[in-house]
Copies of this chain bind each other. A is one copy, B any other.
Amino acid sequence: MKFVVIGGDAAGMSAASKAKRNDPAIDVVVLEQTSDVSYSACGMPYNIAEPERDMNDLVVRQAHVFRDKQGIDLRLGHKVERINRDRKTVSGLTPDGQLFEVSYDKLLIATGARPRMLNIPGEDLPGVKVLRSLEDGRLIKQFMAVHPVERALIVGAGYIGLEMAEALHERRVQVDICDVVSTLLPWLPSEMSDVVRNELEDKGVGLHLGMGTSQIEEFDSRSRVSLGDASLDVDLVLMGVGVVPNSEIASEAGLDLGPQHSIAVDKTLRTSDPDIFAAGDCADAFHIVTGQRVWIPLALRANRGGWAVADNVTGQHIELPGIAGSAVFKVLDMEVAHAGLSAAEAEQAGFDVVDEVIKSRSRAHGHPGNQDIYVHLTADKESGKLLGGDLVGKEGAAHRVDAVAVALHAGMTVEEFFQCDLAYAPPFSPVWDPLLTAANQLLKKV
């Protein structure tokens, strides 16, 4: 049995390692186009924040460990260009430009996603960067080591953009963020979005919302970026306008695609070809609230998907129920967390949406260090089912969202969620946890 994996990042290496653990006799070949495998991509902003840290700190396991200790045939610099489903082979180019071809019994496409580009003039200038691969991270760090960066513009106010705003702020860079969307974090209720906006503005980050950029020019060895009718001169531009799935080889091989050109997979992570799996940021998933296909590329699902593929390749039958789209990020001193559907997504999915925002406190009445915490819960009026939740606050927002995620997986109603016996102590919450206060308020609407 020969199991070939295209892509040596979270999904690919999780699958390769687990397949070997499950069945040491299996041949596992991993074809990775870059020279990096198994690193914490999400850790890059935090590494960039510290100039003295080595980017290679983020490598979880070295390539030689996969080869020597785990017996995985890991081939770096191997770019797969074509899948031949009839002959069951993949082919492409080696690091020195030679054609290679590898046959497979089972194939995993774990090609991930790449930064979406705006295709505007100047996007390829040396002061314009993206952050996706470890090499992208190295390039940003190297650039900052050589060029004094006093001011930076981040194009796109998504997770990566905001995490990079924090990282650059830590390095005492004047940070500006622009986004074509006029609302910051548009899935949040406005009062919660405003809290994050205030945090950014309080710390001196310039926000240019509802404002795209159509051109970047080199000017006086800096970058001059058009912003609406004006322009901004900065030392570094970071493009963070989202990612697109690397699904071209799958599409060209005739495999079915899912939302946003991701690769469609069933609950066993199989594509429309039963011998070909897809996992990680290139593949879609079922949303546990709607049951519908969605493309929400996140790290946990990539790892979980990789494991499930390995199990299914080695003779087990694993079905993944789906994802809640749970996500959390930190921006400056603020934690922002989400699980399930936003109110807008819930409406699109046909629910009779009711929602509620409450402001509570992170600790008990009178406890020192108390912070505001905001909770937003969304429900279906008809069934009473909880559909999603958001939290924003300086403490206690990040982990609380997991209680919402579990409730969504369980299909709980708001009433059932409200009845949950959450833990209380003064340093950690009021007696009625903010989640319960929100559920209680929302109950009045369902």
Contacts and interface: CB of A to CB of B under 8 A. Distances in A.
A240 B12 CA distance: 54
A301 B421 contact: yes
Contact of A339 (B43, B46, B163, B421): B421
A403 B398 CA distance: 12
A326 B406 contact: no
Given A46-B427, A365-B40, A432 B399 contact: no
Interface in A374-412: 396, 398-403, 405-407, 409-410, 412
A419 interface: yes
A149 interface: no
Contacts of A432: 300, 303
A407 B405 CA distance: 10
A327 to B, nearest CB: 6
A301 B50 CA distance: 46
A367 interface: yes
A429 B399 CA distance: 9
A9 to B, nearest CB: 12
B288 A427 contact: no
Nearest to A416: B409
A362 B75 CA distance: 33
A299 B424 contact: yes
Contacts of A396: 399
Interface string A9-29: 010000000000000000000
Given A329-B425, A330-B428, A364-B42, A406 B410 contact: yes
Given A398-B428, A403-B406, A423 B328 contact: yes
A330 to B, nearest CB: 5
A337 interface: yes
A426 interface: yes
Contacts of A337: 423
A365 B421 contact: no
A396 B400 CA distance: 10
Contact of A424 (B288, B298, B400): B298
Given A402-B403, A407-B410, A328 B424 contact: yes
A121 interface: no
A223 interface: no
A364 to B, nearest CB: 5
A136 interface: no
Interface in A323-351: 323-330, 335, 337-339
A288 B431 CA distance: 20
A442 to B, nearest CB: 16
A243 interface: no
A42 B365 CA distance: 10
Nearest to A308: B419
B405 A420 contact: yes
Given A330-B428, A364-B42, A424-B299, A406 B417 contact: yes
Given A402-B403, A406-B406, A421 B325 contact: yes
Contacts of A320: 419
A321 B58 CA distance: 46
Contact of A365 (B58, B327, B409, B431): B58
Contact of A402 (B288, B300, B329, B433): B433
Nearest to A322: B421
Nearest to A328: B423
A50 B436 CA distance: 30
A93 B329 CA distance: 58
21 contacts: A43-B366, A46-B367, A58-B366, A288-B421, A298-B424, A299-B431, A300-B424, A300-B433, A320-B419, A323-B421, A328-B423, A330-B428, A398-B399, A399-B400, A399-B428, A402-B423, A403-B405, A405-B422, A406-B406, A409-B419, A410-B412
List 8 A-B pairs, minimum CB-CB distance, nearest first. Answer: A410-B410, A399-B399, A328-B423, A326-B423, A402-B403, A324-B421, A398-B428, A406-B406
